[in-house]
Amino acid sequence: MRPRIGVTSIRTLDGSRLVEQVNLVYCDAVRQAGGLPFVLPVLQDVDASEVLSTLDGLLLTGGGDVAAWCFGQEASPEATGVDSARDAWEMALVAAADAMGMPILGICRGAQLLNVVAGGTLVQHLPHVTSQRHRRPERDCELVHSVALDPTSLLATITGMGPFGVNSLHHQAVGLIGSGFRPVAWSPDGVVEAIESVDRPQLGVQWHPELLTSRFEHAQLFGWLVSMASAPPVLQVEPAPVGLLDAVA
Question: Which residues, including other chains, have CB under 8 Å from residue 173's CB and lie 6 or more apart?
Answer: 112, 122, 123, 126, 134, 191, 192, 193, 206, 247, 248
pLDDT at 237: 46
- CATH number of the domain encompassing residue 25: 3.40.50.880
pLDDT at 151: 96
Catalytic residue selected from 27, 70, 90, 108 = 108
Instruction: List average pLDDT for each run of 10 residues in the chain, which is 249 residues long.
Output: 96 89 97 98 97 98 96 94 96 98 98 98 95 92 96 97 94 97 97 98 98 97 98 58 40
Confirm whether 239 is domain-assigned. Answer: no
Confirm whether 191 is domain-assigned. Answer: yes
Catalytic residue selected from 90, 193, 196, 210 = 210
The model's pTM? 0.91
Cβ pair 202, 17 in contact under 8 A:
no
Angle at 138 (CA atoms; ends 113, 82), nearest 5 degrees: 30
What is the domain count for the chain?
A: 1
Does residue 108 have an active-site annotation? yes
Report helix, strand or coil for 92: helix
Question: Which residues, including other chains, have CB under 8 Å from residue 97's CB and lie 6 or more apart?
Answer: 52, 58, 103, 104
pLDDT at 239: 46
pLDDT at 245: 36
Confirm whether 248 is domain-assigned. Answer: no
pLDDT at 217: 97
Which domain does 191 fall in, by range?
4-229
Confirm whether 159 is domain-assigned. Answer: yes
Confirm whether 246 is domain-assigned. Answer: no
Sign of the Cα torsion 152, 219, 29, 15 reads: positive
Catalytic residue selected from 170, 171, 208, 218 = 208
Confirm whether 242 is domain-assigned. Answer: no
Confirm whether 210 is domain-assigned. Answer: yes
pLDDT at 241: 45
